[in-house]
Amino acid sequence: MPALLRLEGLRKRFGPIVAVDGISLSVDKGEVLGFLGPNGAGKSTTMKMAAGFLEPDAGRAFICDIDIGKEPVAAKARLGYLPEGAPAYGEMTVRGFLKFCGQVRGLAGAKLKAALDKAVARTRIEAVYGQTIETLSKGYKRRVGLAQAILHEPPVLILDEPTDGLDPNQKHQVRALIRDMAQDSAIIVSTHILEEVPAVCSRAIIIAQGRILADAAASELALLAPPEAQGSLEAVFRHVTMRAMAECVEEDA
């Protein structure tokens, strides 16, 4: 069986800047992949190309074995995407926005109501359901964005910083939700919060300068640190990313 999410040699340049430099990866059903990297590493650009919201200069992305560049509607029907910043229509109420998203996904009548009820309960946004989105806190806006991503129960989820702006209790709830959804889905979580890895991920990739530097099971990632610092995810992150940045400076010199 092919992986539910597959990226093959994705590349993207913005003028002289190479944002993504040949990223290939796959995520299977039941897997939560943590996509880690420092700011500017190319995480969000990769996610946008994987979701079909940004055209790559080279490479391809597949959702459920469907080429998102050639069949975007069919591929996106099987995808739930939470973009960076969780953009939404600020003047709409949460209820109106999610209803609109459900209708766009082809839901109507009793199926739409059931999907809305389930997504609202899972993301715990009942208290703000009648409010306009522009009046919400950052944390609630993030949870509304997550609700629209899971509304149609897609087999593939791409979540860019899903716990950004959430308080500790909300983070715990969202992580539990991700683990629950992973039973029937392939999920990629882009983050720079290292604590996400042991909390929710089964596997992790570290990127910097638009390239994959490490790919390991979440339980084994800490072993990639230098011997004197093994067991520390922060040490692994610094060791891998700073070495890549130093090599990049040497190449430019």
Per-residue confidence at 247, pLDDT binned at 50, 70, 90? Answer: low
Whether 27 maps to a domain, the answer reads no
Is 137 a domain residue?
A: yes
| Predicted pLDDT of residue 115 | 97
Phi, psi of 38 (to 5 degrees): -70, 170
The boundaries of the domain holding residue 137 are 87-153
- The predicted-structure confidence for 142-182, as pLDDT tens digits, reads as follows 999 999 999 999 999 999 988 887 888 888 888 999 999 99
Task: Read off the pLDDT of residues 187-227 as tens digits, 9 standing for 90 and up.
Answer: 999 987 888 888 899 999 999 889 999 898 887 877 766 66
Whether residue 6 lies inside any domain: the answer is no
217 belongs to a structural domain: no
* pLDDT tens digits for range 104-140: 999 999 999 999 999 999 999 999 999 999 999 988 9
pLDDT higher than threshold 70 for residue 249: no
Q: Is residue 176 part of a domain?
A: no
Pairing of strands 203-208, 186-191: unpaired
What is the pLDDT, as a whole number, of residue 250?
47
Instruction: Tell me whether residue 146 is in a domain.
Output: yes
Backbone dihedral angles phi then psi of residue 166, each to the nearest 5 degrees: -90, 150
**163: phi then psi, degrees, rounded to nearest 5:** -105, 10
Determine, yes or no, domain membership for 126.
yes
Q: Please report the pLDDT score of residue 237 as a whole number.
A: 80
Average pLDDT over the chain, rounded to an integer:
89
Q: What is the pLDDT of residue 68?
A: 96
Lookup: tokens for 239? 């060791």
Beta strands 17-27 and 5-14: pairing type? antiparallel
Q: Residue 213: CB partners within 8 Å, gap ≥ 6?
A: 206, 207, 240, 241, 244
Cβ 237 vs Cβ 67: under 8 Å? no
**Domain presence at residue 23:** no
Domain count, the chain: 1
Can you give the pTM of this predicted structure? 0.90
